[in-house]
């Protein structure tokens, strides 16, 4: 069983809906990440929470809003999305701290379709 779980696995929503993606890690890590994976594009880092620090990718539209209530849980709140936001959204976790040493552990992703 994976140490990082994501719900829901599939989501279809209209452009006027509001929904949230949930991620939970059971690995004792202190950093969590949201990635967007679109067809034929590299994985795009959207948000990072590490040791209570939030790091944003400035190119992410404000219709995506992250929330990290504690080191084990991460949410991505979605509102008034566009069809081009349809993608696989991946959550990951890792140890934080100095260095680039720590590998990230990924969840299975939420396949989002915006109609």
Whether the Cβ atoms of residue 77 and residue 67 lie closer than 8 Å to each other: yes
- Tell the smallest beta-carbon distance from residue 35 to other proteins (Å): 8
Q: What's the token pair of residue 67?
A: 């929330």
Among 36, 106, 112, 114, binds other proteins (CB under 8 A): 106
Q: β-strands 87-94, 53-56: how paired?
A: unpaired
Among 25, 74, 107, 112, binds other proteins (CB under 8 A): 107
Measured CA to CA, the distance from residue 60 to residue 44 in angstroms comes to 10
Q: What's the token pair of residue 105?
A: 């552990």
Output phi, psi for 51, to 5 deg: 45, 45
- Tell the smallest beta-carbon distance from residue 18 to other proteins (Å): 24
Mask 35-54, x = binds other proteins (CB under 8 A)?
-----xxxx-x--xxxx-x-
Q: Which stretch binds other proteins (CB under 8 A): 20-28, 65-73, 75-83, 100-108?
A: 100-108
Taking the C-alpha atoms of 82, 84, 85 and 87 in order, what is their torsion angle to the nearest 10 degrees? 150
* Residues between 63 and 92 with contacts to other proteins, criterion CB under 8 A: 88, 90, 92
Which residues bind to other proteins, rule: CB under 8 A?
Answer: 2, 4, 31, 33, 40-43, 45, 48-51, 53, 55, 88, 90, 92, 94, 96-109, 111
């Amino acid at each position: 069983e994976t140490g990082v779980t994501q719900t829901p696995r599939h989501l279809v929503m209209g452009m006027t809906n509001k929904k949230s993606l949930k991620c939970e890690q059971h690995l004792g890590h202190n950093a969590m990440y949201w990635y967007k994976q679109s067809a034929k594009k590299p994985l795009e880092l959207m948000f990072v929470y590490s040791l209570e620090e939030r790091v944003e990718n400035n190119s992410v539209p404000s219709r995506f809003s992250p929330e990290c209530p504690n080191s084990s849980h991460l949410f991505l709140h979605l509102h008034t999305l566009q069809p081009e936001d349809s993608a696989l959204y991946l959550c990951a976790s890792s140890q934080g701290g100095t260095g680039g040493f720590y590998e990230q552990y990924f969840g299975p992703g939420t396949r989002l379709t915006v109609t």
